[in-house]
Amino acid sequence: MACTTLLVGKRATNDGSTLIARNEDCENGTFNAKSMVCVETADQPRTYTGVTSHLTIELPDNPLRYVCTPNTDPAAGVWGEAGINAANVSITATETISTNARVLGADPLVAYRPASGKPGDAGYRPEQPGGIGEEDLVTILLPYIRSAKEGVERMGSLLEQYGTYEMNGVAFGDVDDIWYIETVGGHHWIARRVPDDCYVAQPNRLGIDYFDLRDALGEQHDFMCSKDLASWMAANHLDVTMGDGAGQAGELVEGVPAVFNPRQAFGSYTWLDQVYNNPRAWYMCKMLNGDSPDFCGADPKYGPESFDIPWCFKPAAKISVMDVKNLLSSTYDGTVYDPYGLQGTEESRHRFRDIGINRTCECSVLQIRPYAPAAARGVQWVAFGSGPFNTAIAMYANVRDIPAYLDTSLEVSTDSFYWTNRLVAALADPEYFDNMEAIAGYQQQTLADGYAALAATDAELQQMAQQKGLNLDAMDSADVMTALEASNEALAEKVRQANVQLLDSVLFTRSLNMKNAFGSNDH
């Protein structure tokens, strides 16, 4: 399993933005090259077929334009992963999550099954398409939604119709709300709105730990679910609530507690969670709530292996894009679990799965800014490669042209943001402390350049609006798009130059420490 998600509600961020972010991590032994692209309405397919599932879906007319970060090599499918559309709705898809045998027995995953035999022969079995999955979701969801809640509604209807071949969590954001949906078995699902003053730290484990069926099957203010969730749970004895069986609300809905814990009912509690999943949630929460007795002191309530770390918390201080990027790049910095650290032992430093792992191929922090006009509201902070060694570029999303530096070739090249970051990481890793100062300086300066570029371009747009009478809420204004694209291009060029300097630095350091080094003064 792969990926780590961090979601931050608008009242928990420093500027009132909604932030949804995720590390897209490759499977073991693979490194997927990623690009950032704009998909025009004319280029969006009207009939879509998944490579993994062989499932064909007819898509609606009138799709929205959007940006996303697909695989450079389309052989395995699109894998759009993260993006923002022309209605300023964001998506990050997906966080692979866990489940248990009870759930899969009650509603099996819908896996692709190839044809067996030949038509007309005895025992012939036709091909069975699989359900929808991570490969497909950005393509079949993002162009058709105008709010975060609509994202849940569309995904839920597709899950009920086609099913899924894997367990996933997907986040949607707009200027007001963040919604997070988790699949439950092959066709069922639950979703919860992230409280405005909270963040969610989500590893590869089913996360939602509080659910109100009355709201989900009624007003849907904070919860949503598949229409038959309660009756399906009751029929398959999936409720594990102790006590009188009525849960916290003291009442039942179709034989199921009105308020229950989905993580207990649908999720996993395994040794793998203790070393692979729980520590990532613990570290992010510890950093964002460091003064809380939940995570600090002689006897904190939660530790790195705790199964019951709450799904959402109010942070101790408001959270910025920079904070999100740094957390998703972390390797348990400052603890005995840091593989680059000097604390603990060799065993403790490799005990848990890192957040900023070597096989991260892309991380996007998707920011919807309430103070910006609609045409400049969505910003996708894009990072390629392993988080401890890379940076994020602030790209306005309402554009048609993407800087060439983000168009990754399949051949290794220093003309590419992706490949340069891969090279820097591979060279810097063996001499981490020798390179740390250069990398930290590079990251701080390039992130600062991103903040500065947004502020300058926002001001330029306001000046243009006054001088030319432009409508800055018009998403298709050619003048506005030209300004946004120029900002993106200029910032990408700044980062390219910084990457050249950083690569030069880490290459020099690595070269000095080659095993065949020898000098005349060595005698």
| Catalytic site positions | 3
Element (H, E) at 48: strand 47-49
Could you check whether the bond before residue 360 is cis, i.e. omega within 30 degrees of 0?
Answer: no
Give the β-pairing of 90-96 and 82-85.
antiparallel
> What is the rounded distance in angstroms from the CA atom of residue 393 to the CA atom of residue 364?
9
DSSP 95-160: EE----HHHHHHS-----B--BS-TTSTT-B--B---B-HHHHHHHHGGG-SSHHHHHHHHHHHHH
Question: Would you state the structure tokens that stand for residue 345, as one six-digit string?
Answer: 């032992």
Asked whether the beta carbons of 208 and 141 are under 8 A apart, the reply is no
Say whether 55 sits in a helix, a strand or coil.
Answer: coil
Say which amino acid occupies 511: S
Residue carrying the six token digits 């994202």 = 151
- HSE-up of residue 438 (Cα within 13 Å, Cβ side): 22
Q: How many CB atoms lie within 10 A of CB 63?
A: 21
**In 3D, which of 260, 232, 228 has the Cα closest to residue 244?**
260
In degrees and rounded to multiples of 5, residue 133 shows phi and psi of -155, -170
Integer angstrom CA distances of residue 87 from 150, 204, 321, 384: 12, 29, 21, 25
Say which amino acid occupies 309: I
DSSP 298-359: SS-S--TT-S---SEE--SS-B-HHHHHHHHT-S-TTSTT-TT-SSS-TTGGGSS--SS-TT
* 395 beta partners: 380
**In 3D, which of 68, 94, 142 has the Cα closest to residue 380?**
68
Provide the angle, in degrees to the nearest 10, between the axes of the packed helices 321-328 and 432-468: 150
DSSP 158-199: HHHHH-BSS-EEEEEE-SS-EEEEEEETTTEEEEEEPPTT-E
> What is the rounded distance in angstroms from the CA atom of residue 35 to the CA atom of residue 360?
14
- HSE-up of residue 497 (Cα within 13 Å, Cβ side): 8
Asked whether the beta carbons of 290 and 266 are under 8 A apart, the reply is no
Question: Would you state the structure tokens that stand for residue 241, as one six-digit string?
Answer: 């609530």
Question: Would you state the structure tokens that stand for residue 197, as one six-digit string?
Answer: 């003053």
